[in-house]
């Protein structure tokens, strides 16, 4: 009994001392875990992609690039970091290690991908039990090219054609996706197969605004890999410019005239000078016949005026008008303008002369 008690006390003390040590390790990550940027990995033929999250061994990692290689090719890897031992692993889509390299400080490595099936892979730098940095690698089974306009007006739909050709023993495409991306925005659209090798997608630009973007298309299989479906083909990115609508509406003149041009020339009515034509008939000479000093008939001819008025508007016609002034003395005139009283006076004079001649002959 006396020996048992001291043993129990030692065990309890050991347990108490061990708990804080274990708690400290679990509650706070090491200095290396807090500073993953101490390690940098550069992989050959890297392509910039939208920032997204991938999962490796139940740990999330943000990535912004990947490398695409053909089956049988190799990738070159450069690692820079502290002078501490680390390992570079190559994982397949099932998160199994297919190859590894050991390093200490800055190092360069080559991974031969011969014999690896098309699909998604992951390079990871592990140090002290933590993944310091990761980089996706796609062994492509499809060659993908895209055909799209380089400039599009904001709000319009952009039609993208993806041409997909099988280049290796790869699973059939589960989907073909088109992605438009810049530093802050990512828009994805699933393409529809229109022929054996052609897929077409319509991307709406209404929600992304004006600016410069990158566009690419990728082929995914239905095999899971790193928290998403495996990529088995991806195109090179192309530049896309989304611009403001260049069509502007020109406002018309303030007086309500036609818009987008000069107002038609018009002549105000007040500026129209009518053309006046006056025709004047001169009076004929006054004929005076005197018979024995008794009577002197006088003929006065009226004046006839004709006025024609024309305005500058060819669509308005003003017919000519004629006005005949009546005789002021005789009360009427014939159509030729001769006074009826003048004719009677002439006849009377002739009669008087005849009578005078008869009288003279009788007196002889």
Report the CATH number at residue 170.
2.60.40.1930
DSSP per position, 66-83: EEEE-TT-EEEEEEE--S
Do both 153 and 222 map to the same domain?
yes
The position carrying tokens 């397949």 is 92
Do both 238 and 329 map to the same domain?
no
* 65-90 pLDDT tens trace: 999 999 999 999 999 999 999 999 99
Whole-number average pLDDT of the chain: 72
Q: What is the mean pLDDT of residues 247-272?
A: 45
Nearest CA to 276 out of 245, 301, 307, 302 is that of: 307
- Whether the pLDDT of residue 13 is over 50: the answer is no
Q: Which residues of 307-339 are buried (b: 16+ CB within 10 A; e: fewer)?
A: eeebeeeeeeeeeeeeeeeebeeeeebeeebeb
| Strands of 142-147's sheet in order across | 142-147, 157-166, 198-204, 192-193
| Main-chain dihedrals φ then ψ at residue 357, nearest 5 degrees | -70, -40
> How high is the pLDDT of residue 22?
30
- As for how many domains the chain has, the answer is 3
Range of the domain at 103: 33-139
- Whether the pLDDT of residue 334 is over 70: the answer is no
- Whether the pLDDT of residue 229 is over 60: the answer is yes
Q: Note whether residue 20 is domain-resident.
A: no
Facing residues of 137 across strands? Answer: 67, 121
Q: Note whether residue 213 is domain-resident.
A: yes
Helix/strand/coil percentages in the chain, nearest 5:
15, 40, 40
Do both 160 and 85 map to the same domain?
no
Domain finish residue from 204, 228, 243:
243
> How high is the pLDDT of residue 246?
74
Return all residues near 91 (Cβ < 8 A) that are at least 6 apart.
Answer: 56, 97, 98, 121, 122, 123, 124
Q: What's the rounded Cα separation, in Å, for the pair 188 and 202?
A: 10
Dihedral, CA of residue 56, residue 217, residue 190 and residue 231, to nearest 10? -30
Evaluate whether 46 touches 134 at the Cβ level (below 8 Å): no
Is the pTM above the cut of 0.75?
A: no
């Amino acid at each position: 009994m006396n020996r048992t008690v001291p043993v129990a006390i030692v065990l309890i003390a050991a347990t108490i001392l061990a708990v804080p040590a274990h708690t400290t390790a679990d509650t706070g990550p090491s200095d290396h875990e807090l500073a993953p940027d101490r390690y940098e990995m550069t992989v050959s033929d890297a392509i910039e992609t939208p920032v997204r999250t991938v999962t490796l061994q139940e740990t999330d990692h943000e990535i912004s690039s990947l490398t695409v290689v053909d089956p049988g090719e190799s990738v070159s890897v450069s690692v820079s970091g502290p002078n501490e031992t680390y390992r570079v692993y190559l994982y397949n889509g099932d998160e199994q290690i297919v190859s590894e390299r050991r390093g200490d400080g800055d190092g360069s490595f080559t991974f031969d991908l011969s014999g690896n099936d098309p699909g998604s892979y992951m390079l990871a730098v592990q140090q002290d039990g933590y993944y310091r940095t990761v980089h996706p690698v796609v062994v492509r089974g499809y060659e993908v090219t895209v055909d799209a306009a380089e400039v599009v007006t904001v709000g319009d739909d952009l039609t993208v054609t993806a041409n997909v050709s099988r280049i290796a023993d790869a699973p059939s495409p589960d989907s073909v996706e088109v992605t438009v991306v810049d530093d802050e925005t990512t828009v994805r659209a699933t393409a529809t197969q229109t022929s054996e090798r052609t897929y077409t997608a319509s991307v709406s630009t209404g929600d992304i605004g004006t600016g410069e973007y990158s566009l690419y298309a990728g082929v995914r299989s239905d095999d899971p890999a790193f928290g998403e479906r495996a990529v088995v083909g991806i195109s090179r990115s192309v530049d896309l410019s989304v611009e403001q609508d260049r069509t502007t509406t020109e406002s018309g003149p303030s007086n309500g005239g036609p818009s987008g041009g000069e107002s038609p020339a018009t002549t105000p009515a007040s500026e129209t000078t009518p053309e006046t034509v006056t025709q004047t008939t001169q009076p004929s000479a006054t004929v005076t016949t005197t018979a024995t000093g008794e009577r002197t008939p006088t003929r006065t001819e009226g004046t006839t005026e004709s006025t024609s008025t024309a305005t500058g508007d060819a669509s308005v016609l003003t017919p000519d008008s004629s006005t005949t002034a009546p005789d002021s003395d005789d009360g009427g005139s014939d159509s030729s303008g001769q006074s009826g009283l003048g004719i009677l006076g002439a006849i009377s004079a002739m009669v008087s002369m005849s009578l005078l001649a008869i009288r003279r002959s009788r007196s002889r």
